Chains A and B, each alone.
Chain A
Amino acid sequence: MTPFLNKFRHKRLVFVVFYAVIFLFLASSVPSVRKPLLNTLKPGFGLFNLLRREIGGILFYHRNFIQNEKTKSQIEALRLKLNAMEEYYLENKRLRSLLSFKEQSPYKLVASRIIGRSPDNWSSVIIIDKGRHHGIIKGMSVISPLGLLGRVVEDTLYTSKIMLINDPNFAVSGIIQRSRQEGLICGTLGNNLLMKYLPKDADINIQDTVVTSGFTPAYPKGILIGNVVEMGEEFSGLTRYAVLKPAVNLSNIEEVLVIIQPEK
């Protein structure tokens, strides 16, 4: 063996490999060596496996984290698109309803968008994007498919100012649809309107519908104004008043219809 070994430079290494091979052969063939060996090496394997799992978890988490961030930004982008689509859908719905009302209405109407509101708290005014150029002049009535909105108080070539029905300077003659009782409807800057100068024996009940009487030339007859929600007696005791809830929610209107010709 020695002459054989003399051929190798690293004799010690050859000896170690030789004995390891012998040992492994014995270990694989002799069960009594394998089992204790496995049992001895188990904690070491366990530790390495733990390390492997942790590193795998970190890599998996990092991958998931990156993917999660990408997914979140995609969700946000889609949410924005969805909101925009929702807005378009609602606008489409409103404009269809407006168009349908315009076509069926006996009045000649001009549709406009609201581009501004009054800058102070003592008036209830809106500014629309149509003016004299579109046939709108001062004094014309303004409505929505739900009811009366107000009247045009100022006009320029391309814009108009509209006084809403809850402005204190607004007044229109109205009648109770059921009993035909007439009264004067005024704005109060609040959410409700006031119907004044009702006689003490006026036939008026809660939930009665109030429409324009047609006595005020600017407002065609029969346009819905609102419903009675409360009644009371004036301070003088001679007349009564009724509080009306407007048919139109004045704080969330976006498009209006101006009556440029009362009858087509």
Chain B
Amino acid sequence: MTAPVTKLILLAVVLLILPFQVTFLPYFKVFGIQPDLLFLIVFIASVKFNFGWAVVFALLGGVLKDAFSIYPFGINTALFCLWTLAVKELSRRISLDNRLIQIATVLVLNILHNILAGFLYFGSAKVFIPWAISLRIILFGALYTVFVLYLSGRLLEHIPD
């Protein structure tokens, strides 16, 4: 499969993943938490493609997620772009081809994403979320996302650079 064809396929996957994440994925919630498939697609694009295309995927994924959110538009778009930049910087220092390193990177970045998203969503509002629920969302959400990455690990190997 050539790289341009792969990009088009992944773009189509992003457009399909969102309806899937909104309609079917809630039925796969564990302890009320679902994995973030759009985050995974953005990470895969950041690892496999050049910076330009990675930003395109980050923008597309972020806009789609923001469209279905009730929080101020742009939070997910900005965060996805930030993680794309972080992954690109990280890939200059260490190789992200190793599966374990990818899993660890996704785990750390998703934890940071959940923490930052929580602060940005609720930072100025006087809302109360119990610590246990917040930790569940931050940590278990990241673990579940990483688990999905592990299951789809073979997919990464077949995507050409």
Report A's interface with B, CB cutoff 8 A: 115-123, 125, 127, 153-154, 161, 163, 168-169, 186, 188-191, 194, 196, 251
Contacts and interface: CB of A to CB of B under 8 A. Distances in A.
A161 B71 CA distance: 12
A109 B33 CA distance: 32
B26 interface: yes
Q: Which of A168, A190, A191 has the most CB of B within 10 A?
A: A168
A153 B70 CA distance: 8
B69 A120 contact: yes
> By DSSP majority rule, is chain B's interface helix, strand, loop, or mixed?
helix
B38 A119 contact: yes
B69 A123 contact: yes
Given A123-B121, A194-B128, A189 B70 contact: no
B68 A127 contact: yes
B66 to A, nearest CB: 10
Interface stretch (B16-24, B97-105, B150-158): B16-24
A119 B22 contact: yes
B160 interface: no
Question: Which 10 interchain pairs have the tightest Cβ spacing?
Answer: A116-B22, A168-B127, A117-B26, A121-B137, A119-B21, A119-B68, A189-B133, A190-B133, A121-B141, A168-B129
Interface of B: 18-19, 21-23, 25-26, 29, 32-34, 36, 38, 65, 68-71, 76, 114, 117-118, 121-122, 125, 127-130, 133, 137, 141
A190 B32 contact: yes
Contacts of B68: 116, 118-119, 127
B137 A189 contact: yes
Given A119-B69, A122-B117, A161-B70, A168 B137 contact: no
A123 B71 contact: yes
Contacts of A169: 70, 125, 127
Given A119-B21, A121-B33, A188 B70 contact: no
A125 B70 contact: yes
16 contacts: A117-B22, A118-B22, A120-B36, A121-B137, A122-B71, A122-B118, A122-B122, A123-B69, A127-B68, A154-B70, A163-B70, A168-B122, A169-B125, A188-B133, A191-B32, A194-B128
Contacts of A251: 29, 32
A236 to B, nearest CB: 13
Contact of A119 (B18, B121, B122, B128): B18
Q: Which of B26, B36, B122, B137 has the most CB of A within 10 A?
A: B26
A117 to B, nearest CB: 4
Contacts of B33: 121
Q: Which of A119, A161, A163, A196 has the most CB of B within 10 A?
A: A119
A161 B68 CA distance: 8
Contacts of A168: 122, 125, 127-129
A190 to B, nearest CB: 5
Contacts of A117: 22-23, 26
Given A119-B36, A121-B34, A168-B122, 6 more contacts: A116-B22, A127-B68, A154-B70, A163-B70, A196-B128, A251-B29
Contact of B65 (A120, A125, A189): A120
Contacts of B65: 119-120
B38 to A, nearest CB: 7
Given A168-B128, A188-B130, A189-B137, A123 B70 contact: yes
B74 to A, nearest CB: 14
A163 B70 CA distance: 8
A169 B70 CA distance: 10
